[in-house]
């Protein structure tokens, strides 16, 4: 039996268009039979991965040009994870790895219904289980019926042991890239504390400053500014090139990492971003075209007439999915 061998080569809310045409240093991923991806969680570098239906080693590919066709159009879905157990208990969660409540599960499933007609070619999530659960549950509702598979490339063994031995199965899968850079901001010594009790202990004004200022971190934690440095850098280097190449991408992450990305997409000021609130389990849609991001708000649902016909290509995708549906 021949294996699908994955070879790694290091390598508005305001509805206004935002210029994102500046060239980046990251190269586009290489297509060879089918597209697959990996993220080395130790070095935190995304790598080229392409599948070959062969036992033979692949020749190192020549990177594609980083320039993009001005007519390229792609969808970007951003979603904050569903409610977690610590959300329910009103605790500071930060980078603690807490799963979804039943309500969070239901929020993710409802979000999946709302984006079920929007094509998804690849998924990025944080390294935290609540974001990963949300992404997986969303895809259970998608009309593409493709299976999301988390790519493991932490070691040579993990890469070898998770090989897929079917080209057909590979084509029916969606790669899921996990990255710590998309994690929630680290709340330091506040993690695990009750928010109300913390306000009573330190004073409401001080806690509000820790939570809602742009550049003031909580004790031994990250400020929103610090979180934005890693989240936006990762978006520019690894997610944006996929959009430029025409891939439709979903990002399941957290309130502060997503606020940081939206700040970049919509060119928000530090004063504007601190007042931006994102509800759990509510998807936001952006259309990337001609080097710009255009906000389309939150999709209503597949039964709403024409709700996904934001662009010609999305209308075509919806029609194709309709034809596939029983």
205 is catalytic: no
The annotation status of 34 as a binding-site residue, yes or no, is no
83 is in an annotated binding site: yes
Instruction: Tell me the CA distances in angstroms from 308 to 72, 77, 107, 216, one per residue in order.
Output: 18, 12, 20, 40
Is residue 104 part of an annotated ligand binding site? Answer: no
Q: Which residue's structure tokens are 């305001």?
A: 14
Question: How does DSSP assign 26-72, residue by residue?
Answer: PPPPPPBSBEEEEEETTTTEEEEEEEEESSSPPPPPPPPPS---TT-
269 labeled binding residue: no
In the 8-state DSSP scheme, what is residue 87? H
Compute the distance between CA of residue 93 and CA of residue 191 in angstroms, rounded to an integer.
5
195 is in an annotated binding site: yes
Residue 211 assigned to a binding site: yes
Cβ atoms within 10 Å, residue 58 = 15
208 carries a ligand binding annotation: no
CA distance readout (Å), 235 to 166, 250, 260, 291: 31, 12, 10, 15
Catalytic option among 68, 81, 142, 254: 81
85 is in an annotated binding site: yes
Q: Is 303 annotated as a binding residue?
A: no
Pick the catalytic residue from 184, 222, 240, 266. Answer: 184
Chain center to CA of 215: 24
Active site residue 184: yes
CB within 8 Å of 82: residues ≥ 6 apart: 100, 101, 103, 104, 105, 106, 107, 108, 111, 130, 133, 134, 137, 280, 281
**Residue 81 labeled ligand binder:** yes
Query: Is position 82 annotated in a ligand binding site?
Result: yes
- 94 appears as a binding residue in the annotation: yes
- How far is 301 from 319, CA to CA, in rounded Å? 15
Residues annotated within the binding site are 80-87, 93-94, 130, 184-187, 195, 211-212, 255-256
Residues annotated within the binding site for substrate are 80-87, 93-94, 130, 184-187, 195, 211-212, 255-256
What are the residue numbers of the active site? 81, 184
């Amino acid at each position: 039996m021949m294996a699908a061998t994955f070879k790694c080569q290091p390598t508005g809310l305001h509805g206004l268009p935002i210029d994102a045409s500046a060239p980046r240093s990251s190269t586009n991923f290489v297509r060879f039979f089918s597209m697959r991806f990996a993220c080395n969680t130790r070095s935190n570098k995304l790598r080229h991965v392409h599948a070959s239906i062969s036992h033979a080693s692949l020749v190192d590919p020549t990177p594609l040009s980083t320039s993009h066709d001005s007519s390229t159009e792609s969808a970007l879905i951003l979603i904050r994870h569903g409610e977690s157990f610590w959300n329910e208990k009103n605790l500071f969660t930060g980078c603690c790895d807490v799963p979804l409540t039943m309500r969070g599960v239901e929020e993710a499933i409802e979000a999946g219904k709302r984006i079920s007609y929007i094509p998804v070619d690849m998924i990025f999530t944080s390294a935290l289980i609540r974001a990963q659960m949300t992404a997986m549950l969303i895809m259970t509702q998608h009309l593409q019926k493709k299976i999301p598979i988390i790519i493991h490339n932490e070691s040579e063994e993990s890469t070898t042991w998770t090989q897929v031995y079917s080209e057909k199965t590979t084509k029916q899968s969606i790669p899921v890239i996990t990255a710590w850079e998309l994690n929630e901001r680290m709340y330091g010594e506040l993690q695990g504390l009750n928010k109300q009790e913390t306000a009573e202990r330190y004073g409401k004004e001080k806690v509000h400053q820790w939570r809602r200022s742009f550049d003031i971190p909580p004790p031994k934690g990250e400020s929103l500014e610090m979180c934005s440095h890693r989240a936006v850098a990762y978006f520019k280097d690894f997610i944006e090139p996929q959009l430029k190449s025409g891939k439709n991408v979903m990002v399941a992450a957290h309130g502060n990492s997503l606020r940081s990305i939206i700040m970049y997409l919509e060119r928000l000021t530090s004063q504007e971003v601190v007042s931006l609130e994102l509800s759990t389990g509510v998807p936001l849609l952006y259309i990337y075209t001609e080097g710009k991001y255009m906000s389309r708000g939150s999709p209503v649902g597949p039964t709403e007439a024409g709700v996904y016909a934001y662009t010609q290509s999305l209308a075509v995708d919806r029609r194709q999915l309709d034809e596939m549906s029983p």
